[in-house]
Amino acid sequence: MPESRDAESRQQLAERFEECRSYLHAVAYRMLGSPSEADDAVQECWLRLERADARAIDELRRWLTVVVGRICIDMLRARHSQLIDYAGTWLPEPVVSVGSESDPEHDAVLSDSVSLALLTVLETLSPAERLSFVLHDIFAVSFDEIAVITDRTPAAARQLASRGRRRVRTAPIAHGDGLAGQRRVVEAFLAAARSGDFEGLIAILDPNVVLHTDGGGTGPLARPPIHGAMEVARFLHERGAPFAPMGRLAIVNGAIGVLVGRPQAPVAVIGLAILEGRIVEIDLIGDAAKISRTQIRAASRDH
């Protein structure tokens, strides 16, 4: 009988954990910028729950939030130490969906969608700042709980979130134009790139546009960010011409972006931030390892 009760109790615990899985994955993806790493963090969270005394856990969701937060901080610290000499910009692992050539935006709502531009900004924060901002501003976790995770006082956790918030507010993150407006801009962008229309590229780029490239720390994409419409257009005109015919519209982290290559074998993913009809940020992910981990979801017309 005791073994039977233990098995039943473990089954109930597993079911309660599954109820929290999507929430935990959403937290971990915003913390880590990688669905695959978020999966690892959530799995580690489950393993720690299995080893814990469930009878001593008063509120499971709160306990899991603390645990997954600490796991993510440890993973971020390990990553930062590995990226000290990383050439180029480390960009997040995207969430991509593709539909028909004529209508990709019908699957714009993705469970983990958060803009690449925001995730890129979050990469500039310290692990503690990122966790405080993400948990408080996105998931409404109290500073008392965040203090437990960061081993700081609630007041210090509030300051960490405030610093993160200021950095996010000053970054060129665009949320405007809607999907229809984004689509028109991206179609014009692709048309100019395919035809080699340099002036057309200039016209579609914001004067202060920034291009981030991630080639995995090596190769031609391992370079600092490029600023300004003229310089970005020149790079795209000179380096992007062979790849432009391979570009197709896709939903990249909830916004219209570009998938380069076939969905079964992409060579790059491009996230675009668009504001008032112009592109203000381009995030070009060409890291082969990262691209190989990216799941290209087929768009569903049930939305």
Four-point Cα dihedral 10, 13, 18, 23, nearest 10: -150
pLDDT at 298: 67
As a whole number of angstroms, the distance between CA 238 and CA 28 comes to 38
Q: What is the pLDDT of residues 197-246, one digit of tens each?
A: 999 999 999 999 999 999 999 988 999 999 999 999 999 999 888 899 99
As a whole number of angstroms, the distance between CA 160 and CA 131 comes to 9
Q: Decide if pLDDT at 175 tops 80.
A: no
Q: Tell me the backbone φ, ψ of residue 234, rounded to 5 degrees.
A: -65, -45
pTM of the model: 0.85
Domains in the chain: ranges and CATH: 2-86+126-170 (1.20.140.160), 178-298 (3.10.450.50)
Answer yes or no: are the C-beta atoms of 233 and 201 closer than 8 Å.
Answer: yes
Looking at the chain, list the stretches that DSSP marks H as alpha helix, in order from N- to C-terminal side. Answer: 2-32, 35-51, 60-82, 116-122, 127-133, 143-150, 154-170, 178-195, 198-204, 229-239, 288-293
**37: its two tokens:** 């790493």
Answer yes or no: are the C-beta atoms of 39 and 22 closer than 8 Å.
Answer: no
pLDDT at 185: 95
Radius of gyration for the alpha carbons in the chain, expressed in angstroms and rounded: 21
As a whole number of angstroms, the distance between CA 103 and CA 99 comes to 7
Q: Decide if pLDDT at 113 tops 80.
A: no
DSSP string spanning 223-260?
Answer: S--EESHHHHHHHHHHHSTTTGGGEEEEEETTEEEEEE
